[in-house]
Amino acid sequence: MYDLIGGQLVSTAFVVFVSGLLYQGSRFFKLTKKKEWILPPLAGAEKRVKKTVVQYIVAGLTSLQGTLWKTDPLMMIVTSVFHVCLILAPIFLLGHNMLLDQSWGLSLWSLPESFTNGLTIVVLICAAFFMMRRLFLARVRAITSFHDYFVLLIAVAPFLTGFLAYHQWFDYRIVMILHILAGELMLITIPFTKLGHMLFFFLYRFFIGSEYSFTRGNRTW
Amino acid sequence: MKCKCIRVLMITLATMIALTGSVLMAQQDKMILDSSKVSKKKGRSVVTFPHYQHIEAGLDCKACHHVYQNGKNVLDESQLEEGNPDIRCSKCHSAKLRLNLQQAFHDQCIGCHVRYQKEKKKTGPRYCGECHIRK
Ligand code: HEM
Ligand code: HEM
């Protein structure tokens, strides 16, 4: 049982994860290759004025007014903290890096285990917040479907089971099997569900951003 | 006369049983491995190592104990005695060697368990919590 789940299936999950993201990335460009319209470049936008450092900072802060920071600051904070912990905890986890070292002979440096355990707790609390929001805020519930809960569950499961394993609550071997399965499920589903925003966030963010600034209305993607 | 013989026999027998028994007991004793004095305490519990069970499983002493010379294991097995400080892993595996004490333990224990698992043989644990058992 351990054999298959902890061996071959792990490699399979990583292969699906990486090639899935590559496939979705290439599909993204293929689907948008055909340009529907061509706009004349915007006539030389307004002259650039030299700003002082203070003006730059003020301008930057003002632009935050148009973002989530203005409409829902609590959500902005929670989601930022959530994502930072979500990325840091598994990558710099001693347990993961030791297994990596054992099987591939390479590993990153690791954070102290009590610290990564703290990060895990933060992820779990933030996830509970998202869950409550979807359950109890009318305007969020209105646009929530089963898929959203499902994806949230997939994202949380490795953290919940990892936490239980670290504390050796319940039967360790069973929890460990569940943890590995949960991790593999997450890696495999990332490219094919909305968890793919891990890749698409950056594509959207920078291509749309550049469309409205550097390239003056020309779609480059 | 006859009585004495039986008594001597009984005493010898009892002593022999007691002796072999105590040797077996000592070997069956699980060994506590603790590197926390060397590697600044990192919060993992000490490991209970069933030394005897490994010998029972048919492993060669030299699979674990070694003295390397020119890449060869030249350990003299008569050195393997209880209380000999020279056979402790910590004797050689300090921060100076390629593998520090923690790495020496992990590479040897988990390395072998994983190898045996790949060969589909009966094997030992691989994931943290099965060796570092919380009290
Ligand atoms: C796919 C194969 C995976 C394997 C073999 C694996 C293995 C492990 C192991 C051995 C531990 C240590 C348990 C202990 O301390 O006893 C652990 C903990 C943990 N894993 Fe994984 N893992 C996998 C995937 C993932 C994924 C994809 C994530 C999340 C993105 C994840 C998140 C965590 C976290 C957060 C902990 C630590 C929890 C804590 O310290 O409180 N794991 N994992
Ligand atoms: C790598 C860079 C990533 C970026 C830049 C990013 C960015 C975002 C953004 C902008 C949102 C929308 C705001 C919100 O609803 O909180 C979001 C939501 C979310 N992200 Fe990410 N994300 C990343 C990676 C990940 C990964 C790897 C996972 C887990 C597998 C993940 C799980 C989630 C979840 C579950 C939500 C929705 C929370 C809810 O139910 O409302 N994200 N992310």
Which distant-in-sequence residues (6+ apart) come within 8 Å of B24 by Cβ? Answer: none
Strands B68-69 and B72-73: antiparallel
The minimal CB distance from B129 to the residues A3, A98, A165 is found for: A165
B18 has pLDDT over 60: no
The minimal CB distance from B110 to the residues A102, A168, A173 is found for: A102
For an interface test with B, which of A8, A96, A99 has the most B Cβ atoms less than 10 Å from its Cβ? A99
Which distant-in-sequence residues (6+ apart) come within 8 Å of B124 by Cβ? Answer: B109, B112, B113, B116
Residue A132 has a pLDDT of 93
Mean of all residue pLDDT scores within chain B? 79
Q: How far apart, in Å, do the first and last CA atoms of chain B sit?
A: 58
Q: Which residues of A touch B130 (CB under 8 A)?
A: 172-173
Say if ligand 1 is within 6 A of residue A119 CB. Answer: no
Confirm or reject contact between B97 and chain A (CB < 8 A): no
Confirm or reject contact between B98 and chain A (CB < 8 A): no
Say if ligand 1 is within 6 A of residue A179 CB. Answer: yes
Residue B10 has a pLDDT of 63
Domains of chain A: 2-15+70-207 (1.20.950.20)
Are A194 and A23 in contact by the 8 Å Cβ rule? The answer is no
B21 has pLDDT over 50: no
Q: In sequence order, what DSSP letters do the residues of B31-53 get, joined into one string?
A: EEE--TTTS---SPPPEEE-HHH
Domains of chain B: 27-131 (3.90.10.10)
3-state DSSP call for residue B69?
A: strand
Quickly state the pLDDT bin for B40 (edges 50, 70, 90).
Answer: low
Question: What mean pLDDT do residues A134-162 have?
Answer: 93
Containing B104, the helix (H) or strand (E) segment is: helix B101-118
Complex ipTM above 0.90?
no
Q: What phi and psi values does residue B75 have, to the nearest 5 degrees?
A: -60, 135
Cβ-based burial of A116 (10 A; exposed 0-12, middle 13-18, buried ≥19): buried
Are B106 and A98 in contact by the 8 Å Cβ rule? The answer is yes
The Cα–Cα gap between B34 and B48 comes to 9
The Cα–Cα gap between B48 and B30 comes to 6
Residue type, A133: R
Report the percentage of chain B scoring pLDDT > 70: 75
B26 has pLDDT over 60: no
List, for residues B118-131, the tens digit of each pLDDT value.
Answer: 888 889 999 999 99
Task: Give the ligand whose atoms come closest to the C-alpha of residue A190.
Answer: 2
Q: How far is A218 from chain B (nearest CA, A)?
A: 53
Which distant-in-sequence residues (6+ apart) come within 8 Å of B130 by Cβ? Answer: A172, A173
Distances (CA, A) of A154 to A119, A193, A206, B117: 18, 10, 27, 29
Long-range CB contact pairs, B53-60, < 8 A, 24+ = B55/B27, B57/B122
Q: In sequence order, what DSSP letters do the residues of A135-162 get, joined into one string?
A: HH-HHHHTT--HHHHHHHHHHHHHHHHH
Distance B95 CA to ligand 1 centre (A): 28
List, for residues A181-206, the tens digit of each pLDDT value.
Answer: 999 999 999 999 989 999 888 888 78
The atom of ligand 1 lying closest to the CA of B132 is 16
Residue B24 has a pLDDT of 44
Could you tell me the pTM of the whole model? 0.87
Which 8-state DSSP code applies to residue A25? H
Say if ligand 1 is within 6 A of residue A190 CB. Answer: no
Which distant-in-sequence residues (6+ apart) come within 8 Å of B123 by Cβ? Answer: B112, B113, B114, B116, B117
Q: Which residue has the higher pLDDT, B80 or A214?
A: B80
Mean of all residue pLDDT scores within chain A? 86
A180 has pLDDT over 70: yes
